[in-house]
């Protein structure tokens, strides 16, 4: 049937009236004016205040001029684009300048703050916030996302953003000596990129991506997400000299943490920094794959492992990572953790910290199964912990320490290389108070077919022992080096095809969410036939 001309016109008008045309808004501190409409470079706004007062539509872009510094903060509340047309905060090229525009939020609590927002993309900016005017208590963030009311929020992307020099206090402020002994710090700090989606708000967040960002020199954690967040991607970021952990995640479901470089977490080179922190740690998370990252030089009197799995997690797999010179250690799995794994990683001189009054209140450890589930709570677990095909190197002047809690249930250790040049020692778990000493038989343990440089590499008084150990020198290409390729074995008869096929721990019906069989090693080499020993498959 042919439609009348009048009806066609009506339908067209209805369609056009529902089309939202995206607009670019320009901000330029040199040539802009807040009396302008901001809709062209020639009519740019001047200040960030103008941005925070505007309501934006799907596809709109807020563009800051390259090579310029903008004082203040961008605050968006209840703004939402669409998945295919997010609202963007980014930059445009001005006078051929290549430097990212800088948001200087000194005296403001956040460089960029998003509240109850969806479908937002932040890219190609630099942010700093070094002290200045502040309330008595609080926090200061480079980028801060939060929710204050119930709802389903989604699709926040932060890409190619640099965050540096974020401090709540002014330079010269010194934290008390006891502050670093608290679990996460009790005072006010500066944070790099932070998300808080409170459980009690009834809000959920889906699809968060942070990639190609650089976070350095902030008082506490580099990247921290806490709340009901589903589908998280943290890819290819660099985190350097942060005062707390490099990255920390709580209540995340389905996360992929890949290709990040974390160096000098827990830094104490500024008196405003906390001075303690692992390269990364998870708490209360479910189903996370942590792979192809570098965790180096974590510092602090406690915690400060390369990557550790804090309590109340399940289905956390740590694979293909380099962990080097982290004071707290390499493998750390706390209580009430289920079906977690470290596999095909390389650990270099981890766990060198020595417990000493006034210096450190926790021993560093190469391998630690801890039943800790919170202060003054009865310890239990971890359950079904997998540890296979890792390469561990410890130089001669580091005492290698291991601890296994009596309450652990289910553990597999196989196909690992323990190249420990010096001495080894069994120690007690020591969160807040040491675990009780004494004999115990941990159920459902498969501990066999690991290669040790020397028979004394694994102390006799650790609660679990290798029932079929191998001994010998794998003859690494460059023992003591800092890269994966340095730990390529050259003693082929000792290593090649000497691994066993990994099967489920007895009475474990689940295994690992990614499966127990591995197709490739840490270098990307295919696993052919039986696995080799350690993290590198010989070709």
Supply the pLDDT for residue 301. 96
Q: Give the sign of the dihedral formed by CA 143, CA 147, CA 148, CA 153.
A: positive
- Structural contact between residues 539 and 476, judged by C-beta atoms closer than 8 angstroms: no
Residue 415 token pair: 């196909």
Query: How many whole angstroms separate alpha carbon 225 and alpha carbon 192?
Result: 11
pLDDT, one tens digit per residue, over 64-97 is 999 999 999 999 999 999 999 999 999 999 999 9
Residue 223 token pair: 């990247």
Query: How many whole angstroms separate alpha carbon 224 and alpha carbon 169?
Result: 20
Supply the pLDDT for residue 434. 63
pLDDT, one tens digit per residue, over 210-260 is 999 999 999 999 999 999 999 999 999 999 999 999 999 999 999 999 999
For residue 439, pLDDT beyond 90: no
Residues paired with 224 in a beta bridge? 194, 248
Report helix, strand or coil for 272. coil
- Cα end-to-end span (Å), the chain: 70
Q: What is the 3-state secondary structure (H, E, C) of 358-400?
A: CCECCCCEEEEECCCCCCCCCCCCCEEEEEECCEEEECCCCCE
Mean pLDDT (the chain) is 95
For residue 11, pLDDT beyond 80: no
Query: How many whole angstroms separate alpha carbon 112 and alpha carbon 368?
Result: 39
Q: For residue 271, what are the contacts with CB-CB under 8 A and spacing of at least 6?
A: 172, 173, 174, 175
For the chain, give the percent of residues with pLDDT over 90. 91
- Structural contact between residues 164 and 215, judged by C-beta atoms closer than 8 angstroms: yes
CA neighbor of 513 nearest in space, from 345, 203, 287, 216: 287
Residues paired with 141 in a beta bridge? 110, 191
- CB count within 10 Å of CB 361 equals 16
Rounded to the nearest 5 degrees, what angle is found at the Cα of 295, between the Cα atoms of 392 and 238?
Answer: 155
Supply the pLDDT for residue 199. 80
């Amino acid at each position: 049937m042919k439609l009348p001309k009048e009806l066609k016109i009506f339908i067209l008008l209805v369609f056009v009236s529902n089309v939202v045309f995206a607009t670019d808004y320009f901000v330029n501190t040199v040539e802009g004016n807040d009396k302008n409409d901001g809709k062209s470079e020639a009519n740019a706004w001047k200040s960030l205040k103008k941005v925070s007062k505007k309501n934006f539509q799907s596809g709109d872009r807020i563009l800051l001029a390259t090579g310029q510094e903008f004082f203040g903060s961008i605050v968006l509340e209840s703004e939402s684009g669409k998945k295919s047309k997010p609202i963007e905060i980014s930059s445009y090229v001005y006078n051929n300048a290549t430097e990212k525009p800088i948001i200087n939020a000194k005296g403001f609590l956040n460089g960029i703050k998003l509240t109850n927002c969806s479908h937002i993309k932040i890219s190609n900016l630099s942010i700093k916030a070094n002290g200045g005017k502040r309330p008595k208590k609080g926090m200061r963030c480079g980028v801060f996302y939060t929710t204050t009311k119930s709802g389903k929020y989604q699709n926040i992307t932060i890409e190619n953003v640099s965050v540096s020099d974020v401090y709540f206090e002014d330079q010269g402020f010194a934290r008390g000596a006891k502050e670093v002994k608290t679990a996460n710090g009790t005072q006010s700090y500066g944070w790099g990129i932070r998300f808080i989606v409170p459980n009690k708000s009834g809000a959920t967040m889906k699809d968060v991506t942070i990639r190609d960002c650089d976070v350095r020199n902030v008082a506490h954690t580099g990247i921290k997400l806490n709340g009901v967040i589903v589908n998280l991607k943290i890819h290819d970021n660099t985190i350097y000299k942060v005062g707390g952990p490099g990255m920390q995640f709580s209540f995340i479901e389905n996360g992929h943490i890949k290709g990040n470089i974390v160096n000098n977490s827990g830094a104490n080179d500024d008196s405003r920094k906390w001075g303690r922190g692992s390269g990364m740690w998870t708490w209360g998370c479910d189903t996370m794959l942590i792979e192809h990252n570098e965790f180096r030089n974590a510092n602090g009197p406690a915690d400060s492992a390369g990557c550790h799995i804090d309590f109340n997690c399940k289905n956390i797999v740590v694979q293909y990572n380099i962990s080097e010179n982290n004071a707290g250690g390499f493998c750390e799995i706390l209580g009430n953790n289920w079906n977690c794994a470290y596999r095909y990683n390389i650990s270099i001189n981890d766990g060198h910290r020595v417990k000493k009054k006034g210096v450190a209140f926790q021993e560093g450890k190469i391998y630690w199964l801890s039943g800790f589930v919170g202060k003054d709570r009865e310890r239990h677990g971890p359950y079904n912990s997998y540890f296979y095909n890792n390469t561990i190197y410890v130089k001669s002047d580091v005492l290698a320490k291991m601890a296994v809690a009596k309450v652990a249930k289910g553990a597999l250790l196989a196909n690992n290389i323990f190249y420990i040049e010096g001495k080894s020692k069994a120690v007690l778990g020591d969160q807040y108070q040491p675990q009780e000493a004494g004999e115990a038989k941990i159920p459902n343990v498969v501990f066999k077919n690991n290669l040790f440089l020397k028979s004394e590499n694994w102390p006799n008084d650790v609660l679990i022992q290798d029932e079929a150990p191998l001994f010998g020198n794998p003859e690494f290409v460059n023992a003591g080096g800092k890269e994966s390729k340095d730990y390529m074995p050259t003693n082929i008869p000792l290593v090649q095809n000497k691994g066993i096929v990994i099967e489920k721990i007895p009475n474990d019906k689940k295994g690992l969410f990614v499966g127990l069989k591995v197709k490739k090693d840490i270098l990307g080499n295919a696993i052919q036939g039986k696995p080799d020993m350690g993290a590198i498959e010989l070709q």
